[in-house]
Amino acid sequence: RAARADALLEGLNPPQREAVLHHGSPLLIVAGAGSGKTRVLTHRIAHQLATGRVRPSEVLAITFTNKAAAEMRERVADLVGSAARAMWVSTFHSACVRILRREHAAVGLRSSFSIYDAADSQRLITLVTRELDLDTKKFPAKGLASRISALKDELVDPEAYARSGDADDVLASVYARYQDRLRQASAVDFDDLIMRTVQLLQAHPGVAEHYRRRFRSILVDEYQDTNHAQYVLVRELTGHGDVREDAVPRAELTVVGDADQSIYAFRGATIRNILEFEADYPDARTILLEQNYRSTQTILSAANAVISHNPGRKPKRLWTDAGAGAKIVGYVADNEHEEARFVAQEIDRLGDDDGVRPGDVAVFYRTNAQSRALEEVLIRVGLPYKVVGGTRFYERREIKDAVAYLRAIANPDDDVNLRRVLNVPKRGIGDRSEAMLAAFAERERISVGAALERVEEAPGIGSRGVTQLQGFRELMTGLRELAAGGAGPAEVLGAVLDRTGYLAELRASDDPQDASRVENLAELHAVATEFEQAEPDGDLADFLERVSLVADADQIPAEDVADGAAEGGPREDQGVVTLMTLHTAKGLEFPVVFVTGWEDGTFPHMRSLADPDQLAEERRLAYVGLTRARRRLYISRAAVRTAWGAPNEFPASRFLADVPDELVDWRRRESSMAALRAGGSGWGGGASAWGRGGGGYRRDDDGGSVIGSGRPPRRADADRSGGTPPRTARGSSSPKASAPIPTLAVGDRVTHDSYGMGRVVALEGSGPNAVAKVEFGTHGTKRLLLRYSPVTKL
Ligand code: ATP
Ligand code: MG
């Protein structure tokens, strides 16, 4: 045992080792990016287990994303084996779900309570504002939702808010009613998960004591991004607030973070939690880590130079012995398309010259919308890529409908979801019947679901309406019986799609979009089947919980990362290029990183320019972005970028001026916009010509190529944006239902509007019934009815 514990100290430097060994008082590890904070956390858990000081079931490790949690669990499992399974390694939200599921009775929730995501909660707020006769234009749900969310982050409940001196009447009444409605529906929103768990622990000392006995080691990664509610939660769980003589001994608390990487202040995170840790936990031990193991000196120097301009920060020494490494490559593009082309060209070149695989590369940008131009070019040149955190699968309409059914089945009082599907697909239940039913529920102080059970008593609903509602009730009862009888989530989902007629309606439609909706639903069914296989004991509520908690960063399947590639198509071992926002990149590392869009107004973001606090946060975001790179770093900007629907000239990001010039090899400094405007060729005399069609493909003075499309191409326009694409000749115009069916052969490479690049592995049927089986790498293999599927042969 001792030998095994000692082995865990190998490969750690002295302060890291000290951090792993420390025990007996709270431990704070503060250090810059890439200094091994997360690694220390993992080793510390393994060491605590190996020495027998802590049992696996006594570990609670909190990470920022579910993906990070999975990685940490895996790393600990590598170190200690299958015992790792009993640990709780999860996000704050997942941990709170688990606690609330167990203690649901104490907080007055059903065990199968629903978890509303942002869209659900906005829907409910809209319902509430209507009920309160408020003007939804004047009080948009989105704004109210974010203010309510901010109050919950501060643990201010509706009563406390109403009592506070400066409460806004509208917000106070919406908040109070919204919470009532959630309670009635036995639902919680994301912020409630934390707030209600804190309330539970504070109101029920017995429950608090149970968890304090249970968790003997609590560890929190990325502590700089915790908000007040999470801070209090940790305090409640460790028992550090409990000063009674006979209190449960306090748990070991370990937090790691970097104040320079705090990038979630807009969501209520407060660096205060890290800055004042020593004051809050007087016997705390602080350990600093100064050696960076991730990046080259050049990358580190650039990141340090940028962050050093933030006011009021503690200067840090961060060094590496990795050597200077390659210079940072800088590039000033004429516009976002040319910037994207540069990125693609470099990835390609690095592959040829340096053996860099697509999976080694990440491209970051400030806002999701920026991915579009990059995607266009990557598709064009045939580089496989993956957008992390874009339009999310679970936000698609058909997926939300299907999940709403499942939620309404699991929780009959879940009115938001019940009402979402009441007339979907259309079954003749009119707005009036729905309103009458809701009014009846209101009067009886019961949920709409419960009112449905007594629809015959509800006044004002015509006999046709009653019949329809009864039909819906029978449908739901049947589905609930199926679920209660032990059917797994996949079977229940299948029954929903069949019995409601949802699938049949989509299948009967001529709209190609409906065909892809069918594919998406098939995908959801596959997710449910996978879940059943992974968790044979899991029920519908467990599945829904999983669905609710998929965070943005979870969308990087392991196989997308080159190292994780084990099986699959020919490309899989190469991985795919990862596109993601800077926020999503937190905690990750890649051999090659492109940080794009260094323009004042893009990055730093327009809305931060006038606010020093927000500007400081943008600068921390820059620090996070730069420090993700291990070997090679690219920084680029576009002189003209189309934002808010119009092309705008943007000045260079103020952050660029802080990167020491000797670290950067500027491949192209000046935009050739001025020259272009003077010449007038292609651009028709300036940015205003974007509105016109046409344009062409031409070479600029550097020998690089510019996609001179007349307008920013949407994906469907990619083929028509003129000229010859750089490397791969592309097929016909964008596919529509009426478009000719592409003639394909096994082995052909194709692109699909949603799945990206793929390879045909089999063909069935012919003419209008031709079906191709296409391997889409990370999206798996799809059967596509070619008549409807947006596939283009490459
Ligand atoms: P971030 O602030 O970005 O979250 P971090 O401080 O959590 O970074 P890690 O991700 O733990 O840093 O480590 C960065 C990289 O350095 C990882 O690849 C890790 O394996 C490696 N590393 C950390 N410590 C050592 C060490 N002592 N020897 C070798 N490699 C190390
Ligand atoms: Mg980390």
- The CA-atom distances, in angstroms, between 110 and each of 48, 164, 187, 189 are 36, 31, 9, 15
Ligand nearest to the CA of 258: 1
Dihedral sign of CA atoms 357, 628, 586, 596 in order: negative
- The CA-atom distances, in angstroms, between 557 and each of 361, 369, 578 are 15, 22, 11
Q: Taking all residues of the chain, what is their mean pLDDT, rounded to a whole number?
A: 82
Q: Phi and psi dihedrals of 654, rounded to 5?
A: -65, -25
pLDDT band at 439 (very low <50, low <70, confident <90, very high): very high
Cβ of residue 626 lying under 6 Å from some atom of ligand 1: no
> Is it the case that residue 678 has pLDDT exceeding 50?
no
Quick one: DSSP state of residue 539?
-
CATH superfamily ID and name for 2-104+194-289: P-loop containing nucleotide triphosphate hydrolases (3.40.50.300)
Say if CB 688 and CB 319 are below 8 A apart.
no
Ligand nearest to the CA of 39: 1
pLDDT band at 584 (very low <50, low <70, confident <90, very high): confident
* Residue 226 burial by Cβ neighbours in a 10 Å radius (0-12, 13-18, 19+): buried
Probe ligand 1: pick from 38, 79, 318, 631, max atoms within 8 Å of CB? Answer: 38
Ligand nearest to the CA of 300: 1
Nearest residue to 306 via CA among 598, 663, 600, 619: 619
> Is it the case that residue 71 has pLDDT exceeding 70?
yes
Ligand 1, atom nearest to 33 Cα? 2
Probe ligand 1: pick from 10, 39, 260, max atoms within 8 Å of CB? Answer: 39
Cβ of residue 256 lying under 6 Å from some atom of ligand 1: no
Q: Name the more confident of 420 and 83.
A: 420
Ligand nearest to the CA of 262: 1
Q: Is 37 annotated as a binding residue?
A: yes
3-state secondary structure 95-146: HHHHHHHHCHHHHCCCCCCEEECHHHHHHHHHHHHHHCCCCCCCCCHHHHHH
What does the pLDDT look like over 286-315, one tens digit per residue?
999 999 999 999 999 999 999 999 988 888
Catalytic annotation, residues: 37-38, 221-222, 261, 628
Nearest residue to 110 via CA among 406, 410, 404, 418: 410
Q: How far is the CA of 34 from the centre of ligand 1 (A)?
A: 5
* pLDDT of the residue at 13: 96
- How far is the C-alpha of 35 from the C-alpha of 522, rounded, in Å? 43
Q: Kindly state the greatest CA–CA separation across the chain.
A: 83
* pLDDT of the residue at 557: 39
Cβ of residue 294 lying under 6 Å from some atom of ligand 1: yes
Cβ of residue 12 lying under 6 Å from some atom of ligand 1: yes
Q: Which residue has the tokens 């961060």?
A: 318
pLDDT band at 673 (very low <50, low <70, confident <90, very high): low
Cβ of residue 628 lying under 6 Å from some atom of ligand 1: no
* pLDDT of the residue at 548: 74
Q: Is 390 annotated as a binding residue?
A: no
Give the residues across from 739 on adjacent strands.
none
Ligand 1 atom 26: the closest Cα is on which residue? 12
Average confidence (pLDDT) over 627-636 = 98
Dihedral sign of CA atoms 583, 589, 590, 595 in order: positive
| Token code pair at residue 691 | 């509105």
Q: Is 82 annotated as a binding residue?
A: no
Cβ of residue 43 lying under 6 Å from some atom of ligand 1: no
Q: Is 737 annotated as a binding residue?
A: no
Q: Is 91 annotated as a binding residue?
A: no
Ligand 1 atom 28: the closest Cα is on which residue? 11
* pLDDT of the residue at 691: 26
Quick one: DSSP state of residue 291?
B
pTM, two decimals, is: 0.72
Nearest residue to 224 via CA among 192, 187, 269, 266: 269
pLDDT band at 715 (very low <50, low <70, confident <90, very high): very low
Average confidence (pLDDT) over 731-739 = 35
Distance of CA 754 to the CA centre of its chain: 18
Ligand 1 atom 2: the closest Cα is on which residue? 33
Q: Is 688 annotated as a binding residue?
A: no
> Residue 348: left if φ>0, alpha if ψ -120 to 50, beta else—which one?
alpha
Instruction: Supply the ipTM of this predicted assembly.
Output: 0.99
Cβ of residue 36 lying under 6 Å from some atom of ligand 1: yes
What does the pLDDT look like over 336-377, one tens digit per residue?
999 999 999 999 999 999 999 999 999 999 987 788 788 878
Nearest residue to 408 via CA among 416, 398, 418, 395: 418
Confirm or reject CATH 1.10.10 for domain 114-185, answering yes or no: yes
The β-bridge relationship of strands 59-63 and 705-709 is unpaired
Ligand nearest to the CA of 42: 1
CATH entry, 393-549, from 3.40.462.40, 3.40.50.720, 1.10.486.10, 3.30.200.20: 1.10.486.10
Average confidence (pLDDT) over 448-469 = 94
Q: How far is the CA of 555 from the centre of ligand 1 (A)?
A: 23
Cβ of residue 63 lying under 6 Å from some atom of ligand 1: no
Which long-range contacts (C-beta less than 8 Å, at least 24 apart) are formed by 482-486?
Answer: 483/409, 483/410, 483/539, 483/540
| Token code pair at residue 604 | 């730093």
Q: Phi and psi dihedrals of 282, rounded to 5?
A: -60, -30
Say if CB 424 and CB 502 are below 8 A apart.
yes
b/e map 601-626, b = 16+ CB within 10 Å: bbbbbbebeeeeebbbbbbbbbbbbb
Q: How far is the CA of 39 from the centre of ligand 1 (A)?
A: 6
Cβ of residue 11 lying under 6 Å from some atom of ligand 1: yes
Q: Name residue 99's amino acid.
A: I
- How far is the C-alpha of 695 from the C-alpha of 681, rounded, in Å? 9
CATH entry, 297-309+329-392+553-720, from 3.30.930.10, 3.30.360.10, 3.40.50.300, 1.20.58.1000: 3.40.50.300
Average confidence (pLDDT) over 519-523 = 77
Ligand 1, atom nearest to 587 Cα? 4
Lowest mean pLDDT among 69-73, 103-107, 539-543: 69-73
Q: How far is the CA of 659 from the centre of ligand 2 (A)?
A: 24
Q: How far is the CA of 297 from the centre of ligand 2 (A)?
A: 19
Q: How far is the CA of 670 from the centre of ligand 1 (A)?
A: 37
pLDDT band at 767 (very low <50, low <70, confident <90, very high): low
Cβ of residue 38 lying under 6 Å from some atom of ligand 1: yes
pLDDT band at 646 (very low <50, low <70, confident <90, very high): low
Dihedral sign of CA atoms 119, 195, 113, 89 in order: positive
Q: Is 33 annotated as a binding residue?
A: yes
Nearest residue to 101 via CA among 203, 200, 16, 204: 200
CA angle 480, 393, 264 (to 5 degrees): 110
Cβ of residue 56 lying under 6 Å from some atom of ligand 1: no
Ligand 1 atom 15: the closest Cα is on which residue? 294
